Chains A and B, each alone.
Chain A
Amino acid sequence: MAQFLMIIVSAVFINNFVVVQFLGICPFLGVSKDTKSALGMGIAVTFVMTITCLITYPIYTYILVPLGIEFMEIIVFIFVIASIVQMIEMTLKRFTPSLYNAMGIYLPLITTNCAVLGVAELVIDAGQMASLIGIEASAMNMGFAVLYGLFAGVGFTVAIVIMSGMREKIARLPINKHLKGFPIAMIAACFIAMAFYVFTLI
């Protein structure tokens, strides 16, 4: 139970994917103009990240490592992610058209989202995971990997929704024309990062 809580706090707050580890910055800046689409993107990313961990972790541990071809991981992972995204898109379109309409436009963008490839690369690195979620490196297993994927996605959603709220307010302010757009969004992200910095002091 304590480990479970530790994973949640670590993945969502202390090592937040966006503002602490700088993964998935492109959608964080690109799809955060209004709260509704930010939430849609966040949920889609969380979904894909969980399923990615569920598939890439066993592929790496039970196929690539025994065969001694760990260096193939990037090529294998990117193909797994692209096919997962494609499959999710087709499944949603076939069975739940309403969900597809809400989430569909974000799905193709997720293939080239570094948060997804980042989480796949991160969970196979037992040493790094051990320091991130406070377990023994040898105790790392598939359950932790999938949980970490899920809550890293939740952390992404939290950050992107906060960001979209700030940007909705910023859009109504008179801002110097050179600062408009990306620069002011970056400075807003700077304040979110400062807020998240407090969690590292725990």
Chain B
Amino acid sequence: MKTNYKKIAADGVIKSNPTLKLVLGTCPTLALTTMAMNGIGMGAAVTFVLICSNVLVSLLRKVIPSQVRIPAFVLIIATFVTMTRLILDKLLPDLYESLGLYLPLIVVNCIILARAESFASKNGVLASAADGLFMGIGFTLALTVMGAFREILGSGAVFGVKLWDFQIAFFSSSAGAFFTYGIFIALFAFCESLISKKRKIKAYAELCAEKQKSDAQNIDSVAVVSESSSKEDK
């Protein structure tokens, strides 16, 4: 069976975006979108764990008995999270500090377990790696965009670069986190329905055009038939 990488990419980033469509992994999304940089850091950490755990789960999918698969997946994920934590602590201590409690909590992030369960345990290694990568990218993009939105409104800066002095404290508070997330999910659903409506109209228009064409052909053929029959009559 040939793997459709284009479909995996579209699914991960847009069609079933883990943050905005499936609403998974909400805790880090709400807590870390105060700054755009946090979004990239958390996104990178989650993407790394997602790719590694998807690959390992996919490799071991025929070995792990289905009764103990969930504890096995959790063990795999916990191992990679511990690795990520040690690496970040050594290489990027600032990011490690700002992610804080939410870094060990990647273990119980539903996105990773959900992908292991619903994709990696049923598909090949390369496809699982691609799924992990694109799901991770979808998560990172959503977090970064929301982070930038809250950072611009809440502290008048983006990626730590000061833009202006105007700031609304609401957006950097916890209430602002819920508000921003809610608005973004609604906007995403709205855009999606607009696009699907446009596609439907286009498809309908094509269908109509085709029907007209075939109707016209039918009329022509009917005319030809009637002509020929009238000839025969003569």
Contact = CB atoms under 8 A, between A and B. Distances in A.
Contacts, number: 111
A193 B105 contact: no
Contacts of B75: 75, 79
Interface in B81-133: 81-82, 85-86, 101, 104-105, 107-110, 113
Contacts of A107: none
B78 A186 contact: no
A197 B27 contact: no
How many A residues are at the interface, by size bracket? 35 or more
A187 to B, nearest CB: 4
Nearest to B113: A112
Contacts of B30: 22, 25
Interface in B48-96: 71, 74-75, 78-79, 81-82, 85-86
A113 B173 contact: no
How many B residues are at the interface, by size bracket? 35 or more
A182 B185 contact: yes
B108 to A, nearest CB: 5
Contact of A194 (B175, B186, B187, B193): B175
A118 B178 contact: no
Interface string B158-192: 00000000000000011111110111011101100
A187 B180 CA distance: 8
A29 interface: yes
Contacts of B104: 73-74, 117, 121
B82 A183 contact: no
Instruction: Summarize A's interface: helix, strand, loop or mixed.
Output: helix
A75 B105 contact: no
B220 to A, nearest CB: 46
B23 interface: yes
Contact of A25 (B27, B113, B190): B27
B86 A82 contact: no
A21 interface: yes
A20 interface: yes
B26 interface: yes
Contacts of B186: 176, 178-179, 183
Contacts of A184: 182
A13 to B, nearest CB: 13
B182 A190 contact: yes
B182 A74 contact: no
Interface string A144-171: 0000000000000000000000000000
A62 interface: no
Contact of A71 (B86, B101, B107): B86
Given A82-B74, A114-B105, A117-B105, A190 B85 contact: no
B117 to A, nearest CB: 11
B55 to A, nearest CB: 19
Given A183-B185, A186-B178, A194-B175, A74 B27 contact: no
B145 interface: no
A122 B189 CA distance: 36
A72 B82 contact: yes
Residue with the highest number of chain A CB atoms closer than 10 Å, among B28, B82, B186: B186
Contacts of B31: 21-22
A189 interface: yes
B108 A193 contact: no
Interface of B: 23-24, 26-28, 30-31, 71, 74-75, 78-79, 81-82, 85-86, 101, 104-105, 107-110, 113, 173-179, 181-183, 185-187, 189-190, 193
